[in-house]
Chain A
């Protein structure tokens, strides 16, 4: 390849803290100490050593696949070329270790021009938190395919995984990752998407259970006209750490990204972290981006960190914005509802439901909507005693 061609193909290097150099070499990533920008919010002591050198073993989770008609799901060897096809290069030690430790990969493939009815569900059931597991999955929506893939994580486990998402030109893919773990689970997931020309990806992260759940989702574009909608919903309870780190790398012109994450927190030391990074490269002219994070603090003792970052290297854009909010119940909303005879507890439940309902509707996976609404209800029920106590105070 001539230097000129090489130059035309390579994107300019970007001097940006949002865009760390990745490496497949585990030893290129130092063991985090907790002061590093990407680790400063994460409780390292609770990671059961997977950020350091704790061994990975097979069988940490049992996997069940319910594939919709027309979708193929297979397991390939770790050296299969499909691994890495999303452009994922680990940018932290946990991701690099999971990459190195994976003995194979689950590949979900939606064939070209196929519109799939119903969701393909891949259920990971944790079998215990004594040993840690490393996972790898690649979801490929071939050209002009349309499908929904749901990943469900439940039970007890310590898991580090890399999930790759490839949305080829003109394809329309929804990927939902539901972290409904048992209380002692630790899950660090790196999810990376490459979005083709005029392709659409809807990525949804739903985190309810687990001791420490950290999800890093990043997206890049393989051509102009691609669109990423990234939605997140979380509910952090007493002692839980739920962290979402997002990075949308606008690598092509006329691309879009729309990020909305909403969370509720309740109980002593419930902690939610949201980092929303967007980089608009010089060549990404005419793009549109918006990111939003809202946190509703339901009780004392819970706290949220919310950090949106936007780096813009071209002025030729359609629009770029972000919003971040951490708040308690709005007294005016509660007063309005109560003035109609609704009790304070019921008014609070209505407000929380409303807070999430907008988002649940946008997910657009009917078989999931009812379950999510039900889970929100169950989460609120855990806390209903506290709400009632406050009523009587």
Chain B
């Protein structure tokens, strides 16, 4: 089970001119096994939603609740949220110099499972996940995200999704900066994950392109810190044809 319930979530960040409200009451329920897409123009706050759920210290929750299968997510530390089943694939994955991908993955898997992975199957699992993402096995020896191309970083995020196997994936602009081949590889990885039992996905994107490969159950249009409209996959098609203009104008 992995039902994420967001109720009237309000979030602000500190700026030079004092706190600035970014999320102005977001309500959204993603049931176990569902994939939701959040689409919106730049600066609409859609990434803030993902980072707030994951617990980035930059964001202050000023109101509302987030629960995962009834557990209060907002009271958890960042690593506790991951242990509860949340995974955030970042738009700009962070470099960690001197820490090998292999060491990073093993440390993360050990932390999540409470015990070290079985050596025999582990190497095979990691190589398999790398292989699926078209990443050379030698990738494991490189420092985390250091010197990776934009596409490699994104494929590395999805390889982690495969290996760490969370219940709920928040994918923040996983498609940005990818060429069409890489987009297909990444989409396949997401679809493989969705094919597992009771996995939920919140897919945040600026473009409709990825939705040709990853079919969402619901689409939400995100404008000025709130959901402006929700609908089925057909909403994405309408956005593709007409853009965000109508919502942006209405929001002002």
Binding site for B on A (CB under 8 A): 330-333, 335-344, 346-347, 350-351, 353-358
Contacts and interface: CB of A to CB of B under 8 A. Distances in A.
B103 interface: yes
Given A333-B94, A339-B87, 9 more contacts: A330-B94, A335-B78, A338-B55, A339-B88, A340-B82, A340-B104, A340-B112, A341-B83, A350-B96
Given A340-B108, A341-B79, A344-B79, A353 B57 contact: no
Contacts of A346: 107, 111
A332 B94 contact: yes
Contacts of B143: 354, 358
Contacts of A344: 77-79
Contact of B79 (A330, A342, A355): A342
Contacts of B95: 333
Nearest to A338: B78
Contact of B103 (A338, A350, A356): A350
B136 to A, nearest CB: 20
Given A335-B56, A335-B57, A335-B78, A340 B96 contact: no
Contacts of A338: 55, 77-79, 82
Contact of B111 (A332, A336, A342, A351): A342
A353 B160 CA distance: 21
Contacts of A355: 97-98
B215 to A, nearest CB: 26
B54 interface: yes
A235 to B, nearest CB: 15
Contacts of B57: 331, 335
A33 B58 CA distance: 47
Contacts of A330: 94
Nearest to B81: A339
B88 A343 contact: no
Nearest to A351: B96
A354 B97 contact: yes
Nearest to B54: A339
Contacts of A353: 98-99
B214 interface: no
A341 B108 contact: yes
B147 to A, nearest CB: 12
A48 B90 CA distance: 55
Nearest to B56: A335
B164 interface: yes
Contacts of A331: 57-58
Contacts of A350: 96, 99, 103-104, 107
A331 B94 CA distance: 10
Given A331-B57, A338-B77, A343 B103 contact: no
Nearest to A360: B98
B90 A336 contact: yes
Nearest to B57: A331
Nearest to A392: B77
A350 B164 CA distance: 18
A174 B206 CA distance: 54
19 contacts: A330-B94, A332-B94, A333-B94, A335-B55, A336-B90, A336-B96, A337-B104, A339-B55, A339-B79, A340-B79, A340-B112, A341-B79, A341-B83, A342-B107, A342-B108, A344-B79, A347-B79, A351-B96, A357-B98
Contacts of B82: 338-341
Contacts of B99: 350-351, 353-354, 357
Top 10 closest pairs, chain A to chain B, by CB = A354-B98, A341-B82, A357-B98, A354-B99, A340-B108, A338-B78, A336-B94, A341-B112, A341-B111, A358-B98
B93 A336 contact: yes
Contacts of A357: 98-99
Contacts of A356: 98
B49 to A, nearest CB: 15
Interface in B83-127: 83, 87-88, 90, 93-99, 103-104, 107-108, 111-112
Contact of B94 (A335, A342, A358): A335
A150 to B, nearest CB: 23
B55 to A, nearest CB: 8
A340 B97 contact: no
Contacts of A342: 79, 107-108, 111
A350 B111 CA distance: 13
Contacts of B55: 335, 338-339
A365 B107 CA distance: 27
A335 to B, nearest CB: 6
Q: Which of A336, A344, A356: most chain B CB closer than 10 A? A: A336
A338 B78 CA distance: 6
A60 B107 CA distance: 45
Contacts of A347: 79
Contacts of B107: 342, 346, 350
A392 B149 CA distance: 36
Contacts of B90: 336, 339
Contacts of A340: 79, 82, 87, 104, 108, 111-112, 160, 164
A344 B104 CA distance: 14
A337 B130 CA distance: 19
A357 B97 CA distance: 9
A16 to B, nearest CB: 34
Contacts of B108: 337, 340-342
